[in-house]
Structure 1
Amino acid sequence: MRSLLLLSFTCLLSLPTGAAPVTDERLLAAGSDADNWLSHGRDYSEQRYSPLAEITTDNVGELGLAWHFDTDTRLGLQTTPLVIDGVLYFSGAWNTAWALDAATGELLWKFDPQVARSKSITACCGAINRGLAAWGDLLFMGALDGRLIAIDRATGQMRWSVQTTDPAKPYAITGAPRVARGKVFIGNSGAEFGTRGYVSAYDAATGEFVWRFYTVPGNPAEGFENEAMARAAKTWSGEWWRYGGGGTVWDSIVYDPEFNQLYLGVGNGAPHNRRIRSPGGGDNLFLTSIVAVDPDTGEYLWHYQQVPGETWDYTASQQMTLAEIPWEGEPRKVILHAPKAGFVYIIDRATGKLLSAEPYTTVTWASGYDMDSGRPQENPGQDYDGEPAMVFPSAMGGHNWHPMAYSPDTGLLYIPELDMGMLYDEVAPVDYQHLKRHYNTGYEFNQEGYSQRFTQAMLRHLPKAHLLAWDPVSQKPAWKLPHPNIHNGGVLATGGNLVFQGTSDGRFIAVQADNGELRWNFETLNSVMAGPVSYRVNGEQYVAVAVGRGGALTMNTGRSFPTGNPNNRIVAFKLGGDASLPATPAPERPAPPPQPEATAEDLAEGRAAFNRYCARCHGADVSGDGSIPDLRYLAPVWHENFAAVVLDGLMERAGMPRFDDVLDAAQVEQIHAYVIARAHEDYDLRQEEGWLSAMKDYATDISARVAAWLVRFQAGRE
């Protein structure tokens, strides 16, 4: 009670005129508050559906850019903005946060918590942040260094900060907090680096710790925190705690006010390979599960495990959506979940009972689910036990963090689908070495012959991507819209019978929600990965989205744009908008330095080391997406200081980690030689393309001249 009174008093002092505190009552009614976007998924249902219907299929062609706001970073923008009483709040790389006038894009304030750049080594997929939470007169952000930070909504000043993780361990936070019943809930990431997952609750007004729920058991010799952990430990074997266990809740946390339950989307095992993690087998609870806990106490209520003993990095951390749908002739309150494993799970919200599990993309690891037991029927040979296996979906999943949406108007679930497989080839348990500060998966990426096998597999089934509309009642697709590139952005559904989505090839599109017809397209000049929002200011509907490439798949696989990589930005649209984006200059791509002497074996070793330690940021085989520098285009000064950067930490304060714990000088020379070789390959290709382009232009010019001469000649004859 004291904290609630304190909050009410400070709200009156600090909020600007016209702004109101975000109370529990206001959050409970957020679904009918069309003007605002009060929480990560708009309201507690996390349907990402806006009832606003000023923009419709009939007039969406009149949609234009209203304003844009450029940040000061290119490191990836994955945030879902909040919009509260005419102000748009969003977070970006290194946990910088901004407040903008939602009608004009004018900057109101900026906040920088000064996260140490050395934390980048344990950030899976860039120094990104996916969003904020609001309650009272505060905004909450989980920081990459493990802090939960409360920011004054009116001034952008820090009000309190608590450390939610052990700074000595490789935890990070990239997901958005959630708020309910006066508490802030926050998870973390870092499973691949060797952490044990948990979710914590803090008092929203004061930051005081309330409770913590661990998602996997710790060392039995130290005792268990509760009966749930003692029960879970019986499903593990070996000394799993030495590797952390995993199970981090790095994204999805959903509060259900109808049942007063908090649902946690639990992640993958650490390491991924279950024979290393838990050599005697077992389900490994609560990996890849939805776990329901009491939001007031953190007490375990129930769970449903989607992939027992998971071994493919199939997290259940993707967005959970709450809905009421017709089921067997009766309305049923359900969780709709389309996580990495490739199935749409329909789960009873009260009990956790599995109602349906049907594949929404190509799936080979399992043939289906036994509905009596709720367990998957794994296909033989897909767990890469002793033999490599091409498995669908890949470790990126059939759907990753990019938000999906559900429209109560159409009854359809809109999923950014990724139809892609991956070749798994295990590291033998006797050869496994656990590396602190680095990825530990338990399977190989670069062994001899891998590339050839992967290429052969890809020729049989090329990666594809779609915007998929899924009918949860009939349990099958309603329609699919193909995309030219993989790894596309999040989704928004609106009352105007529209679905908005960004794409990795630099477009923001509007699709008719009931049939998938493309109705509008805007060139964003950069990838759009995040989820859009819609809101209303002064009677006008806006649609806004964060623009900026980055993230696991694009950083790993690379994506070359015809222009450079502009600073990440927020773009907002309205009917009749007539603003425009500034032109993006062509990137500078200097000629590479001379190739150092290196044998074929040196280059092969350099490639293997690069893809082991560098590819997750700089791109596989040195083909980056530009959100982090593409090493093929390094300026001469960085080639001169290559070893100092990699081994001595010359750029550690800027976010480039040092690797002297796993690499020596000879290995760095091999990596550098391989980088230069790739730079020469790219340079030669660009020269050839430039020559071909020049020849094409010359031929076109000659053709035009000949045509003009023929016209004049014919005219002269006449």
Structure 2
Amino acid sequence: MKNTSSRSMPLRTFLMAGSISLVLLAGCQTKEPAVPAAPAAVDSERLLGAAAEPANWMSHGRTYDEQRHSTLQQISSENVAELGLAWSFDLQTERGIEATSLVVDGIMYMTSAWSIVHALDARTGAVLWSYDPEVAKDKQRHGCCDAVNRGVAVWQGQVFVGVYDGRLVALDAETGAVNWSVATVDPELPFTITGAPRVIDGKILIGNGGAEFGVRGFISAYAVADGEQLWRFYTVPGNPELGFENAAMEMAAKTWNGKWWELGGGGGTVWDSMAYDPELDLLYIGVGNGTPWNQEIRSPGGGDNLFLSSIVALRPDSGEYVWHYQTTPGETWDYTATQHIVLADMELDGKPRKVLMQAPKNGFFYVLDRTDGTLLSANNYIDLNWATHVDMETGRPVEVAGARYRDETMIIVPSYLGGHNWHPMAYNPDTGLVYIPAQEFAAAYAQAADFEYRPGAANLGTDGVIGSLPDSQAARDAIRPLMQGRLLAWDPKTQSEAWRVEHTGPWNGGVLSTAGNLVFQGTADGTFVAYSADKGESLWQFPAQTGIVAPAITYAIDGEQYVSVNVGWGGAYALVFGEYVRAESLPNVSRVLTFKLGADGTLPPVEWRPTVVFNPPSRSASAELEARGFALYQDGCMGCHGLNAVSGLLIPDLRGSAYLHDADGWNAVVREGALAEQGMADFSAYFDREESEAIRAYVIQQAWRGKELRAKQ
């Protein structure tokens, strides 16, 4: 593990010398704590009162309700055109950046790819310290969606990060030194951590990912002092013959069929969203998909399969189950409910209600009573075709005939990437609107012809070839305009659209709302934009030189308001849909970009470069071998290297690989781990020599296709 620092003074001295004055900013009611004696001086009192400290952004959603709304309004719709770049910090990576930065008393704590943590001077971007957990690069074989991390938590002088390989690490907030480290998962199993931890009353809460690869999901709580595990709540039941951990698991087991525990444990990982209501003392978690995706294999004969695709309320002190609401019973499309959860108090039908809101992957926007999980309303926020509506009597979506693709291929909207993915939305109590990074495109689903569970590999249970791109370039070009992305302003009271801004495609950034009548969002095509919160008018934009998926934050120091966003193209869409990422693109220069009024900073120019240089060997394989390689590639390689062997920029495009010319070298990479240190794991457990050669034959075929297509352009 590496820790580096370029501080010119001790961090404690920096904090004292900075004379951080949290002044009243244009109508904000701002708490003015004393200058802290130590960095990250965050405790229960400050987190519970975070709404009164808009100068800081002390937790993932700014406040426990996860509204991602700031009452700062020095920067407003009236003057946002004067916003300029104050500073930038180069993250020295070309991988995806999904982190929400935290700012506490003038210090920014953020994460980069591979769970690397940086502490920065939030005024200038100067690095104070950095910590690299040194994750083994071949661990990415167990990550569905890039080696990303969504941020840290802070508490009483410590910074907590969930590491990609499953560790939870506590760092000294002043030096970045490791205070303690614990394994939150069995390191022999294909778990990962990409989500940000949360802190409630001295307990660190963290979930995990890995459902596609075969795990049993859970969320755990650890003591801040030493990392002792305090409780664990499993989200799906284990083998009934071994007994159940609690009554909730016994209840859930009645909704499953077959022997799901033999197929990797059932899935249901808690890989992202959490929210907390201190008055009700309820922790809300979102639960993910099953293992495999296809319920026909996972739970033959059906069943709701609790708590997959559910919102679950727990007691944060004990992990005790309180209630649940399942958005997609018996899910079979990868329709997770791990998307952003927002809490708010509002009047509905003339009555004050404590509500919970979520726009999960399945395309419906839900408003629940967060005291008991009662469904208050639901409506589709995108055009979808797998269900007609949500039945308000049962709370269940009404599925269309054939949606479960048991007997034939179905083209389903939304796809497995959802109508809304992990990218956080925001709620503005002034406008009453929720701002959703929405997207709309289809996927083809069909039963896998021959399913065999493979421990540690992706186990979807769907036909990879059916789910691939068409061979015709004209057909591929016709799909592109159907892959839509937008910023959607949604009225949760009326369950209707207020306004929308269409983007050039899907997979755009998370959202920040402010009392200055502003909504900030980055886009997939590399622009950071400020919109008016009431009308959606574009008021200001900045070219970021790379796609943006992370959400912005805002904070204030010495009476100046800043807006900061972490940029760097990445995640599932960027990996899988390489065909729809620009064929010639800027390098993915990942950075922290921070803005304030009157600043005039610029970014250094970046040269354009080709994403792949085609130099394939001659095609000598039979059509049968190429077809076999196609099927193997789609099942085992597509998740990292892209549909139909077209890379999404984050990982080298196989069509340009020199190993295409060397069968032995290709085999050494695929089956012997020759490039393990660069992230390409040994896949000998899944492919024999003949299968490895079939994949090479298919990639050569696709390399020639790409070369010929480029020659025509």
Answer whether TM exceeds 0.5 for this pair. Answer: yes
Equivalent pair of 1:15/1:137 in contact (CA under 8 Å): no
Structure with more of its chain in helix, by fraction: 1
Compute the displacement of 1:674 (Å): 3.0
Match of 1:662 among 663, 686, 694: 686
Q: Which amino acid aligns with 1:629?
A: P
**Partner residue of 2:368?**
347
Q: Aligned-pair distance for 1:458?
A: 6.8
Task: Confirm whether residue 69 of structure 1 aligns to residue 69 of structure 2.
Answer: no
Distance 1:119 1:34, change over 3 A: same
TM-aligned CA deviation for residue 447 of structure 1: 4.3
Query: How far apart are 1:205 and its partner, in Å?
Result: 2.0
Whether contact under 8 Å (1:212, 1:298) holds in the other structure is yes
- Aligned residue for 1:432, secondary structure, equals coil
Q: Is the 8 A contact 1:245 1:270 kept in 2?
A: yes
C-alpha spacing 1:671/1:636, structure 2 compared with 1 (3 Å)? closer
- Structure 2 Cα separation of the partners of residues 459 and 503 of structure 1: 20
Q: 1:270 aligns to what SS in structure 2?
A: coil
Give secondary structure in 2 for the equivalent of 1:245.
coil
1:30 equivalenced with 2:58 (yes/no): no
Residue equivalent to 1:509 = 529
Match of 2:246 among 226, 232, 238: 226
Of residues 640-649 and 295-304 in structure 1, the stretch that sits farther from structure 2 once superposed is 640-649
Q: Measure the CA separation in 1 of the matches of 2:468 and 2:648.
A: 26
Is residue 576–residue 638 contact of structure 2 (8 Å, CA) maintained in 1?
Answer: yes
Change (3 A) 1:449 1:227: closer
Offset, 1:595: 2.3
Match of 2:22 in 1: none
How big is each residue's C-alpha offset from its partner over 1:657-679, in whole Å with a ceiling of 9 and x where there is no partner? 12111112233233223333333
Alignment correspondent of 2:197: 177
* Cα distance change, pair 577–433 in 1 and its aligned pair in 2 (3 A): same
For residue 570 of structure 1, what is the aligned residue in structure 2?
Answer: 592
Q: Is the 8 A contact 1:592 1:676 kept in 2?
A: no
Q: 1:324 — aligned with what?
A: 345
Distance in structure 2 (CA, Å) of the matches to 1:398 and 1:129: 22
Please, which of 562, 587, 605 is the counterpart of residue 609 of structure 2? 587
Q: How many residues align?
A: 677
Partner of 2:324: 303
Partner SS, residue 451 of structure 1 = coil
Structure 1 letter corresponding to 2:512: L
Instruction: Give the distance between the partners of 2:701 and 2:404, measured in 1 at CA.
Output: 36
The yes-or-no answer on 1:634 pairing with 2:657 is yes
Q: Is residue 16–residue 154 contact of structure 1 (8 Å, CA) maintained in 2?
A: no
Task: State the shift of 1:92 in Å.
Answer: 1.5
1:69-103 residue CA offsets vs partner (Å, 9 max, x unmatched)? 11121121111111111111111211111111111
Q: Look up the match of 2:4.
A: none
State the shift of 1:596 in Å. Answer: 4.1
What is the alpha-carbon distance in structure 2 between the residues aligned to residue 14 and residue 291 of structure 1? 44
Q: Following the alignment from structure 2 to structure 1, what is the Cα–Cα distance between the partners of residues 319 and 517?
A: 39
The residue that corresponds to 1:702 in the other structure is none
Asked whether the 8 Å contact 2:443–2:467 carries over to 1, the reply is no
After superposition, give the CA deviation of every residue in 1:624-666 in whole Å (9 maximum; x if it has no partner): 2211112233357996832221111011122111211111223
1:561: Cα distance to partner? Answer: 6.0
Deviations 1:386-428 (A, max 9, x none): 1111111111110000111111111100001111121110125
Contact 1:250 1:317 in 2 (8 A): yes
Paired residues of 1:410 and 1:514 also in contact (CA < 8 A): yes
CA offset at residue 118 of structure 1? Answer: 2.6
Matched residue type, 1:535: Y
1:196-215 matched pairs, under 5 angstroms: 196-215=216-235
**Matched residue SS, 1:345:** strand
Q: What is residue 442 of structure 1 aligned with on the other side?
A: 461
SS at match of 2:555: strand
1:422 lines up with 2:443 in the alignment: yes
Deviation at 1:452, TM superposition (A): 7.4
Q: Tell me if the contact between 1:500 and 1:511 (Cα under 8 Å) persists in the aligned partners.
A: yes
Residue 287 (structure 1) aligned with residue 302 (structure 2): no
TM-score (norm 2): 0.91
Equivalent residue letter for 1:361: I
| Gap regions ≥5 residues in structure 2 | 1-10, 17-34
Q: Cα distance, 1:480 vs. partner?
A: 0.8
Shift of residue 322 of structure 1? 0.6
Equivalent position amino acid for 1:34 in 2: P
| Residue 652 (structure 1) aligned to one of 664, 676, 683 | 676
Distance 1:590 1:362 in 2: 39
1:148 deviates by 0.8
Q: In structure 1, how many angstroms separate the alpha carbons of the residues matched to 2:361 and 2:625? A: 37
**Matched residue, 2:283:** 262
Q: Match of 1:678, as an amino acid?
A: Q
Indicate conservation of the 8 Å contact 1:488/1:503, yes or no: yes
Q: Secondary structure at the match of 2:470?
A: helix
- Report the alpha carbon displacement of residue 116 of structure 1 after superposing the two structures with TM: 2.0
Q: Given the alignment, which residue of 491, 498, 501 partners 1:478? A: 498
Cα 1:639–1:77 shift into 2, 3 Å: farther
Pair 1:610 & 2:633 matched: yes
SS at match of 2:644: coil
- What is the Cα-based RMSD across aligned positions, in Å? 2.3
- Report which stretch shifted further, 571-580 or 665-674: 665-674
From the superposition, tell whether residues 459 and 250 of structure 1 become closer, same or farther in structure 2 (CA, over 3 Å).
Answer: closer
Alignment correspondent of 1:451: 470
Is the contact made by 1:198 and 1:213 (CA closer than 8 Å) also made in structure 2? yes
The match for 1:619 is 642
Q: Would you say the 8 A contact 2:614–2:706 is kept in 1? A: no
Deviates more, 1:122-131 or 1:366-375: 366-375
Q: How far apart are the structure 2 equivalents of 1:13 and 1:583?
A: 36
TM-score (norm 1): 0.91
Task: State the match for 2:27 in structure 1.
Answer: none
| Residue 452 of structure 2 corresponds to residue 433 of structure 1 | yes
Deviation at 1:459, TM superposition (A): 6.0
- Contact 1:493–1:499 (Cα < 8 Å) also in 2: yes
* AA of the residue aligned to 2:160: F
- Counterpart of 1:552 in structure 2 is 572
Q: Aligned partners of 1:142, 1:479: CA distance in 2, in Å?
A: 37
Deviation at 1:466, TM superposition (A): 0.8
Q: C-alpha displacement at 1:562, in angstroms?
A: 4.2
In 2: Cα distance, 1:457 partner to 1:221 partner: 52
Aligned in 2, Cα 1:424/1:455: closer, same or farther, shift over 3 Å? farther
Mapping of residues 64-463 of structure 1, within 5 Å? 64-243=84-263, 244-427=265-448, 431-447=450-466, 451=470, 462-463=482-483
Instruction: Give the letter for the 1:89 counterpart.
Output: Y
Alpha-carbon offset, residue 464 of structure 1: 1.2
> Residue 569 of structure 2 contacts residue 588 of structure 2 at CA under 8 Å; is this kept in 1?
no
Q: Report how far residue 681 of structure 1 moved.
A: 3.4
AA aligned opposite 1:609:
L
Contact 2:95 2:588 in 1 (8 A): no
**Aligned partners of 2:426 and 2:436 also within 8 Å:** yes
- Map 1:494-505 to 2 at 5 A: 494-505=514-525
Q: After TM superposition, give the deviation of residue 385 of structure 1 in Å.
A: 1.3
Residue deviations 1:483-523, cap 9 Å, x none? 01111111111111111111111111111111111111111
Q: CA separation in 2, counterparts of 1:209 and 1:668?
A: 43
- Structure 2 letter corresponding to 1:237: N
Q: Distance in 2 between matches of 1:148 and 1:460?
A: 40
Check the 8 A contact 2:288/2:309 in 1, yes or no: yes
Conserved 8 A contact 2:445-2:466: no
CA contact (8 A) 1:563 1:585 kept: no
1:54 partnered with 2:78: no
